[in-house]
Amino acid sequence: MTMNPGPAPHPRPLTPALAAPSVGLDLDGRTVLVTGAASGIGRACALRLVAAGAKVKAVDRQADGLEALLAQSLGLAAAGSLEAHVLDLTDLDAAEEAAAGTDILVNNAGLQLVRPIEEFPPEVFHTVLTVMLEAPFRLIRGALPHMYGQGWGRIINLSSVHGLRASAYKSAYVAAKHGLEGLSKTAALEGAPHGVTSNCVNPGYVRTPLVERQIADQAAAHGIPEDRVVADILLKDSALKRLVEPEEVAEAVAYLCTPEASFITGTSLALDGGWTAH
């Protein structure tokens, strides 16, 4: 059956990136750890939380990206501060250690490979699960003693619409994100008596390097030209035909740190343009 693809996606975002933060948030005195902070969503989250007054520890394996982030944070008229920490999260012991003393943990680092299962390299499957599921477990494990000790903590896991739905050719990513959903809910149940909430944020496709890098692979896997990938593959199931901006995702993360969100735990906050309404 041929489906009507509907109108072509707008070439520019219909809602521009947020010019200014919209969620009222004061994180003065709070320490935050953001993983994967050198790029995309992690970078936007780190800057947003510095702008809210937090002391942000920005973790990534990319030193160059962290340096650029640090320079950008210095240009903010913000009360907070940023410290860059080069770390490859496949070093799980170091990851757990880095999380000690954190009030707010943003588990964001991730990677993607688009291949059919029978061609998917097992070592890449292992790395994806390590960075996107086992490292978050170890980071949560490292952060909880301090959070429990003070009776307050926020765990925010950057999941995806792929934590709630599968797509072909993304076995490792979909498996890791579904696992992250379970980890997040378990942390919510264990953390509740200690004032610690744990939630997932679940974007559809966000305008970041991770998405830009998969366009060629998606074209090859689906046998279509690259210029049709965004409309025909990425936005096929999204009711809103545009990519989400990293700043919009960071605003959802900021909301989960507000006092108003203190009763929200164990949930998955979808920013998916209606994808999971299907």
Residues 70-89 binding ligand NAD (CB under 6 A) are: 88-89
Residues that bind ligand NAD (rule: CB under 6 A) add up to a total of: 27
Alpha carbon distance 173, 162 (integer Å): 8
Residue of 41, 47, 133, 233 that binds ligand NAD (CB under 6 A): 41
Kindly state the smallest distance separating residue 151's Cβ from ligand NAD, in Å. Answer: 29
x/- letters, 110..149, toward ligand NAD (CB under 6 A)? xx-------------------x------------------
Residue 109 within binding range of ligand NAD, rule CB under 6 A: yes
- Is residue 156 a contact residue for ligand NAD (CB under 6 A)? no
Which C-beta is closer to ligand NAD: that of 152 or that of 237?
237
Assign residue 40 a region: left if phi > 0, alpha if psi is -120 to 50, beta otherwise? Answer: left
Closer residue to ligand NAD (CB): 52 or 205: 205
Contact pick of 60, 181, 247, 248 for ligand NAD (by CB under 6 A):
60
From residue 232 to residue 251, the character string flagging contacts with ligand NAD as x (rule: CB under 6 A) and all else as - is: --------------------
Q: Which is nearer to ligand NAD, 27 or 41 (CB)?
A: 41
Of 27, 82, 105, 108, which lies in the binding site for ligand NAD, with binding defined by CB under 6 A? 108
Binding of ligand NAD by 90 (CB under 6 A): yes
Report the residue number, 79 or 94, with the smaller CB distance to ligand NAD.
94
Active site residue 173: yes
3-state secondary structure the chain: CCCCCCCCCCCCCCCCCCCCCCCCCCCCCCEEEEECCCCHHHHHHHHHHHHCCCEEEEEECCHHHHHHHHHHHHCCCCCCEEEEEECCCCCHHHHHHHCCCCCEEEECCCCCCCCCHHHCCHHHHHHHHHHHHHHHHHHHHHHHHHHHHHCCEEEEEECCHHHCCCCCCCHHHHHHHHHHHHHHHHHHHHHHHHCEEEEEEEECCECCHHHHHHHHHHHHHHCCCHHHHHHHHHCCCCCCCCCECHHHHHHHHHHHCCHHHCCCCCCEEEECCCHHHC
Q: Which stretch binds ligand NAD (CB under 6 A): 96-104, 144-152, 189-197, 201-209?
A: 201-209
Q: How far apart are CA 68 and CA 45, in angstroms?
A: 15
Q: Enumerate the active-site residues.
A: 173
Site for ligand NAD, rule CB under 6 A: 36, 38-42, 60-62, 65, 88-90, 108-111, 131, 158, 160, 203, 205-206, 208-211
